[in-house]
Amino acid sequence: MAVLPIRIMGDPVLHSPAAPVEEVTDEIRTLVADMFETMDAAPGVGLAAPQVGVGLRIFTYTYQDDEGAEWRGEIINPELWMTPLIPGDPDEDEESEGCLSFPGERFPLRRSERVRVTGTDLEGRPVSIEVDGWRARILQHEFDHLDGILYIDRLSDSDWKTTQKIARKRGWGRPGASWLPGVDDLEG
């Protein structure tokens, strides 16, 4: 397995819808194993294939609850259903998130409280996950990546402007920008 470079917000693969996986091959299995290793090294709670430069509809996720129970897996060709979003401004303490493709920063963002995601795993078995809270946020965030949407695209105008200033300062707005977890400095 290998840690893969994470694509930074200016890379075109992050802003394009990903293609469906037609067949699970050895290359796809290796990609998913490398995605888990990269996600863990970052560290992150989710990673979508476009974040490592692969425009396919795959994401990995991991989360450990307060009791230490681990929730971990991959979803290929996911579909997402969510409860309606509650109107209003996000609570900065409870509804902030970050992204490995915009590392080192967090911004408030309201997400739906409950989701259902279906797809398949690496063995072709059906996957159906119904979750709420933090886990629902993880799945929505990763699903967005598969549609070419970064969480910074969903921010308020003032927070979005802040992200653009940060990106210019760090040189992240250009195609091909990336960082290697555990090796590169998060500042650029």
Q: For residues 34 and 92, give the distance between their C-alpha atoms in angstroms, rounded to a whole number.
A: 33
Residue 182 sits at φ, ψ, to 5 deg, of 85, -5
Tell me, yes or no, if 95 is annotated catalytic.
no
Name the nearest CA neighbour of 141 among 180, 107, 104, 185. Answer: 107
Q: Cβ neighbours of residue 17 under 8 Å, at least 6 residues apart?
A: 146, 147, 148
**Given 74, 94, 95, 142, which residue is catalytic?**
142
Beta strands, E only, the chain: 6-7, 46-48, 58-64, 70-82, 96-99, 102-108, 114-120, 126-132, 178-179
Q: Nearest 5 degrees, angle CA 112-CA 113-CA 118?
A: 80
Residues carrying an active site annotation: 142
